[in-house]
């Protein structure tokens, strides 16, 4: 899971790399809940949104982030340590809650070097287990790998190699091996994987990014308990026009060309992973609790949608949008039947905003349940409103 505010505004776009035949073995629940209502909890939000405020509907917390430095997991700072104690206390009050340490995030380096050889993989995994499991016993139930991204698609300054694609699978296997050796019940190994976007670093800027070029999707799915599929950031600052952040389906008026248009949406991304050998029950659908905006150069016929733009606009979280933009009559409120998402347009300021609301989040959760996915997760829990409207909509099908 990337820290999405820090992610440079860039459009998600997928290319078809062919279909992998055969399916991974079915996921098992290892004696735990068959469904996931997951939430990323960020260290930088803990003052305004402490651990104790995590709602009871959440089954799995992904703590963001741990990091890798010099081939080993970096030691947490004092703020992290305080969060770890609070998470352990929360687990004691909610025995079914499971907590994973998410390692990486957008802009986090160290993965390519750490995963390069068998020895380096053993070293980094052993250090992560010592750093988070041995030092803080009873706090963590698993590891969430957030390598953004092997081979290509990540920031230009992050080391990447062609062999990363295979090594990402081998790194997941090493986490699985060493976590199994810990004993004390099944430990989770998950990974946050992308639904695609335009290239930001490795490769030609603006070229389509294909997740299957970075990950052995079918193979790594067999190692992981599940994939947190990042079905958002499909319309960001690498898009040539103002567009949706997480559209459910293709929008006919969208000027994005094929084959990107086919896969550059929530349902398309899930089908893409399935075509590459990932079973539905190894996927947990990602939903964003934040918006993205564009200052457009013209209103166009669609109230700012699919228009050229010259600068980005950060509308903030759902809570911000609900309390400020939705209460301001200067912002026109619209709904798209194909994207199954709302959007806002301020004609006076020439600003378009894509966001999700409880209605659109509920549609995505219903889709995940009907499609046989393992559950849904959000980036990120602190961006909900005080009534937990988004979480309630996300959790309702389960």
Show which residues are catalytic: 148
| HEC profile of the chain | CCCCCCCCCCCCCCCCCCCCCCCCCCCCCCCCCCCEEEEEEEHHHCCCCCHHHCCCCCCEEEEEEECEECCEECCCCHHHHHHHHHHHHHHHHCCCCEEEEEEECCCCCCHHHHCCCHHHHHHHHHHHHHHHHHCCCCCCCEEEEECCCCCCCCCCCCCCCCCHHHHHHHHHHHHHHHHHHHCCCCCEEEEEEECCEECCCCCCCCCEECHHHHCCHHHHHHHCCEEEEECCCCCCCCCCCCCCCCCCCCCCCCCCCCCHHHHCCHHHHHHHHHHCCCCHHHEEEEEECECEEEEECCCCCCCCCCCCEEEEECCCEHHHHHHHHCCCCCCEEEEECCCCEEEEEECCCCEEEECCCHHHHHHHHHHHHHCCCCEEEEECHHHCCCCCHHHHHHHCCC
């Amino acid at each position: 899971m990337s820290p999405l505010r820090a992610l440079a505004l860039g459009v998600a776009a997928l290319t078809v790399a062919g279909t992998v035949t055969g399916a991974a073995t079915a996921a098992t629940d290892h004696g735990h809940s068959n469904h996931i209502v997951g939430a990323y909890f960020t260290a930088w939000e803990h003052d305004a949104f402490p651990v104790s405020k995590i709602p009871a509907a959440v089954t799995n917390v992904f703590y963001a982030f741990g990091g890798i430095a010099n081939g080993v997991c970096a030691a947490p700072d004092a703020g992290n340590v305080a969060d770890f104690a609070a998470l352990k206390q929360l687990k004691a009050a909610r025995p079914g809650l499971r907590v994973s340490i998410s390692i990486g995030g957008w802009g986090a380096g160290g993965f390519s070097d750490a995963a390069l050889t068998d020895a380096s993989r053993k070293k980094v995994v052993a250090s992560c287990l010592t750093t988070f499991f041995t030092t803080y016993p009873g706090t963590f139930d698993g590891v969430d790998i957030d390598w953004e991204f092997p081979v290509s698609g990540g920031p230009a300054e992050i080391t990447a190699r062609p062999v990363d694609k295979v090594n990402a699978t081998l790194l997941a296997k090493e986490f699985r091996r060493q976590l199994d050796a810990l004993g004390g019940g099944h430990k989770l190994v998950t990974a946050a994987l992308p639904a695609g976007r335009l290239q930001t670093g490795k490769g030609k800027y603006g070229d389509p990014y294909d997740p299957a070029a970075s990950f052995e999707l079918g193979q790594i799915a067999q190692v992981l308990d599940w994939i947190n599929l990042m079905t958002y950031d499909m319309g960001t600052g690498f898009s040539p026009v103002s567009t949706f952040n997480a559209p459910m389906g293709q929008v006919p008026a969208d000027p994005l060309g094929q084959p990107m248009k086919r896969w550059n949406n929530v349902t398309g991304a899930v089908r893409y992973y399935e075509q590459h050998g990932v079973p539905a029950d190894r996927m947990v659908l990602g939903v964003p609790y934040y918006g993205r905006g564009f200052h457009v150069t013209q209103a166009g016929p669609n109230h700012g949608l699919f228009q050229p733009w010259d600068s980005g606009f950060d509308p903030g979280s759902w809570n911000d949008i609900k309390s400020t933009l939705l209460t301001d009559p200067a912002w026109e409120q619209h709904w798209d039947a194909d994207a199954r998402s709302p959007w806002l347009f301020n004609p006076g300021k020439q600003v378009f905003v894509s966001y999700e609301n409880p209605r659109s989040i509920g549609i995505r959760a219903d889709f995940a349940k009907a499609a046989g996915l393992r559950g849904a997760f959000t980036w990120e829990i602190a961006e909900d409103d005080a009534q937990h409207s988004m979480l309630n909509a996300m959790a309702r099908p389960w």
